[in-house]
Amino acid sequence: MEDQTKLDSTPSESEKYSKEVEVAVRAVQMACALCQRVQGNLISKTNGQVQSKDDNSPVTVADWSVQATVSWLLSESFGSKNVSIVAEEDIQKLCKADAAGLLATVSNTVNECLAEAPRFGLKGPNISLGTSEVLEAISRCNSTGGPTGRFWTLDPVDGTLGFVRGDQYAVALALIEDGQVVLGVLGCPNYPMRKEWLSYHHRYHRIISKLTPPTSESWDKGCVIYARRGSGKALMQPLLHVNQKLVWPNSVRPVRVSSIDNPSLATFCEPVEKANSSHSFTAGVAHSMGLRKQPLRVYSMVKYAAIARGDAEIFMKFARAGYKEKIWDHAAGVVIIQEAGGVVTDARGRPLDFSKGIYLEGLDRGIIACAGPKLHDKIISAVDASWDSSSL
């Protein structure tokens, strides 16, 4: 009888992770609203909000604020003892003697966001967080991952260069359990609802949006795309606008990868930055396969969203020697594409391994994401044929 009770209390597959998905999507919706406010300030005036990391990549108030906000929300929803997070930012710069103003700005940004939690269906703090509590929330994200147990991965602003330049970026949150990504959420605040507008600069869209009715599916609507492992579907909902309340699941609709499997008709994505990816090699592979379309160069994990939504068919990334891919840059996007019907592997065709800590260890050459298995097989073959003559 006791065993039967345990059996009855076990959640069904359709219910598994349902609370985690809902909380994660709501938290990412909030994070996107935060980012939109900060990016608006950044575009109008660069008022000291852009900092530099040790590796010289820009980091903004939004990075720390999103990390603090999401960390606090997950801890409140599931209990801080039950929440382990692998995330990109630490508090070293914020704790420096000359960073008091920056820390105050981050704290104000976090509290402004958390005050809106009820609008997103989440509980906010009873009183505003102090700077020590904000620092604690950021530094709580100190997990190093691994093969066992449960942990979240968070990239608070993926594609920081895109963010700073008023272009594409994403908020990426994923849950990993025993080395497997079990859910992923991608918030894409600047991802236009019409694919063709991706090729235009963000500021152009700001002008165009003033000419379109607010009810239309215009470029600036933004979206959140998410998936739960094993569900066989990826879902998309629009971002909330100011004063709009989140009614779950908020105009949700399924997304699916493209059915194109002919390389000559396919569109492929690649990173904008050349620093950690070889454009020349991907161009060579594309040419050898007969890909005729111009590559879609997009900052951040928006590339994964583009494939999941059927706006592109291929994403190839081949890092230069010495560069190691981090799990938070791929976890959410991988599960979303897989559940939308696509395939993501390394260049040997092996699944990406998220169980080895903060890096994708054992990665063979690069990452290949495709709209379907036929296209994927063709890409793998083309990479094999081109690799020996490359200088990577």
Domains within the chain, CATH numbers bracketed = 18-190+222-255 (3.30.540.10), 263-387 (3.40.190.80)
* Res 6: pLDDT: 42
Length of the chain: 392
* Res 386: pLDDT: 74
Q: What's at 208, amino acid-wise?
A: I
Q: Is 329 annotated as a binding residue?
A: yes
Among this protein's residues, is 69 annotated catalytic?
no
CA Rg value for the chain: 21
* Res 188: pLDDT: 95
* Res 141: pLDDT: 95
End-to-end Cα, the chain, rounded Å: 62
For residue 86, report the phi and psi dihedrals to the nearest 5 degrees: -100, 120
Q: Is 178 annotated as a binding residue?
A: no
Among 60, 63, 105, 345, the one annotated catalytic: 63
Q: How far, rounded to the nearest angstrom, does the alpha carbon of residue 68 sit from its chain's CA centroid? A: 16
Q: Is 364 annotated as a binding residue?
A: no
Among 60, 153, 160, 345, the one annotated catalytic: 160
Residues of the chain with pLDDT under 50: 1-9, 208, 213-219, 392
Question: What's the farthest any 2 CA atoms get from each other in the chain?
Answer: 66
* Res 369: pLDDT: 96
Tokens 């391994």 appear where?
Answer: 353
CA–CA dist 20, 335 (Å, integer): 15
* Res 210: pLDDT: 54
Among this protein's residues, is 212 annotated catalytic?
no
Q: Is 22 annotated as a binding residue?
A: no
